[in-house]
Structure 1
Amino acid sequence: MESKKTYDDVVAFHGHSCPGLAIGIKASELALRELGEGDGDEELVCVSETDMCGVDGIQYMTNCTVGKGNLILRNYGKVAFTFYRRRDGKGLRLVLKDSLKRDMERDEYRDYLLKSNAEELFDVKTPREPLPSMAYRESSLRCSRCGEGTMESLTRNLDGQVYCLPCFREIRPQR
């Protein structure tokens, strides 16, 4: 790995060694090489199209986190990651090539991924969607049913009452 962060560091953060973690590390290496490290805050953004182990590798390697709003999970079930650099909007979408695994066992596949050049593992494409806006704070509203504060944009209004999404779903189930 080209980073000062070692594979063992990433494994310690994630909890186990696996092919998915290797995929996230390799995607991060390619993104960091193309877009730079960023400022450690929100300069680098990742939109992940999966919720697999690789997301932890990306979080550790790039400092993108859900809490800061620069790691966004959109689980489409695809091993694909779009990275953006905020200052100029440059971005790239990395899609794991389908033909990689062949008939390898788990550890053999992980080692293969770690030893490969990232460019050999991913199809590099243009982003499918625009750069997400920066994280922002918004007002909280109190749910009329449970009394808990909820971010205003994630509430529903029914008959003049404000509801959080779980309460709204309980009183108005999908039909």
Structure 2
Amino acid sequence: MKAEYAPFKVQEVVDLLGRFHTHLGPYLIIGARMAEIAIERLGFDPFKMKAIVYTGITPPLSCMVDGIQFISGCTLGKGNIKIEDSGIPEAKFIKDDKTILFRLLKHPDLKGLVTEQVRQVALEYAKMPAEDFLEILE
């Protein structure tokens, strides 16, 4: 049975991401947006696609990993996602002979924000055009 993919429906996916991750923050959304674009350009196959995430495992950057797993189907359990401890908000997606690298250009400013304000920043990243905050290299 082939896996099927439905495009990112902002509010529905944001709600599900928040439930999966237990809270909503911008790096979670940024990872999800990276995965969404990777699927649009490489095609959806959660068994053939691989992801390398350069955030390391320290929040809040590492929250990108959950967004990528949730949307792309690249998971730690399947072994098709790797986390590099570089401490940078970048991710690479590979499928067949194609590669896409995402670099975060606009970092969210979260200093001094309370939970609801962080959620609002996340929603801004969910709705803004990707080119406003990501560099995409193919």
TM-score range, shorter chain: 0.7 to 0.9
Deviations 1:11-37 (A, max 9, x none): 111111111111111111111111111
- Cα distance, 1:123 vs. partner? 0.8
Question: Normalized against structure 1, the TM-score is what?
Answer: 0.62
Q: Which runs of 5+ in 1 are unaligned?
A: 127-175
- 1:29 and 1:118 in contact (8 A); partners too: no
The alignment-based identity, stated in percent, is 27
Amino acid aligned to 2:134: F
The CA distance in 2 between the partners of 1:7 and 1:45, in whole Å, is 23
The CA distance in 2 between the partners of 1:102 and 1:13, in whole Å, is 23
RMSD of aligned alpha carbons: 2.2
Which of these two proteins has the greater Rg computed from alpha carbons?
A: 1
The CA distance in 1 between the partners of 2:78 and 2:102, in whole Å, is 22
Deviating 4+ runs (over 6 angstroms): none
Q: Which runs of 5+ in 2 are unaligned?
A: 1-5
Aligned to 2:137: 125
Aligned to 2:84: 74
> Relative to 1, partners in 2 of residues 1:103 and 1:81: Cα closer, same or farther, differing over 3 Å?
closer
SS in 2 for 1:6: helix
Question: Normalized against structure 2, the TM-score is what?
Answer: 0.77
Which has more strand, going by share of residues?
A: 1
The CA distance in 1 between the partners of 2:17 and 2:53, in whole Å, is 18
The CA distance in 2 between the partners of 1:71 and 1:115, in whole Å, is 26
The CA distance in 2 between the partners of 1:25 and 1:48, in whole Å, is 12
Equivalent pairs, count: 121
The CA distance in 2 between the partners of 1:29 and 1:119, in whole Å, is 13
- Listed as ranges, the matches of 1:84-163 within 5 Å are 84-86=94-96, 89-97=97-105, 99-101=106-108, 105=113, 106-126=118-138
Q: Which has the higher contact order (CA 8 A, sep 6+)?
A: 2
Amino acid aligned to 1:56: D
- 1:30 and 1:119 in contact (8 A); partners too: no
> Relative to 1, partners in 2 of residues 1:103 and 1:17: Cα closer, same or farther, differing over 3 Å?
closer
- 1:84 and 1:92 in contact (8 A); partners too: yes
